[in-house]
Amino acid sequence: MKRRNGFTIIEVIVAMIMLAIIIFGAIAYRYHAALDSKRAEVDILANRIGLLLLESWHGFYGYNPSTHTYSAYNPVLHLQNTGAVIGLDITTSAGPARPDVTYNALGSYKITLNEGNNLNYIVFYSTLSSKDAGGSLGMTIINVTVQYSQRGNSAASLGDCEKTISLTTYRYQ
């Protein structure tokens, strides 16, 4: 019997299955790469917001020289109303817990970051706290805790947040 040149139907089906697996694998890889990119972007935004709060509180606005405390800082007044950050809306709200009970909670805030239109915004929840480090140095520990949804969607409430960061710095009086 004479053999014909070409492929059998089995060979064609196997080749099509292999091609489909490669194509769907590439699509899944691109999808997960896009998700990871969005998560990294939200993580960076949360860290930037925490750093903005911490540095503005640590700097000019946070220190009350007459009482030698940091209780005078209010980000609603100092950041939102000054136009320091465009697209940042800060309101008083429930926030994440303090690092521990020895810290004095100074305020909790809901921070909405609007990325150019009203449809694309991210919500962060933050708590500011401080603690006297004691000793003769007069050192104060100041802390900002930020909670957010890492998925990048807006968290309707504090309970919707699954990611927490905490930034701490020290200040000598």
123-135: pLDDT as tens digits? 888 888 888 887 6
Do 70 and 54 touch, CB atoms closer than 8 A?
A: no
Range of the domain at 129: 11-172
Q: Is residue 2 part of a domain?
A: no
Domain assignment of residue 46, yes or no? yes
Instruction: State yes or no: pLDDT of 154 exceeds 70.
Output: no
In a domain, 168, yes or no: yes
Residue 91 lies in a domain: yes
Per-residue pLDDT, 26:
93
Asked if residue 88 lies in contact with residue 121, where contact means CB atoms within 8 angstroms, the answer is no
The secondary structure of 63-115 as a DSSP string is -BTTTTBSTT--HIIIIITTTSSTTEEEEE---PPPSSTTSEEEEEEEEEEE-
- Residue 6 in domain: no
Do the domain assignments include residue 88? Answer: yes
Instruction: Say if 149 falls within a structural domain.
Output: yes
Residue 66 lies in a domain: yes
Query: How far apart are the two ends of the chain, measured CA to CA in Å?
Result: 98
Question: Could you give the number of structural domains in the chain?
Answer: 1
- Comparing 46 with 154, the larger pLDDT belongs to 46
pTM above 0.75, yes or no: no
Percent residues over pLDDT 70 in the chain:
75
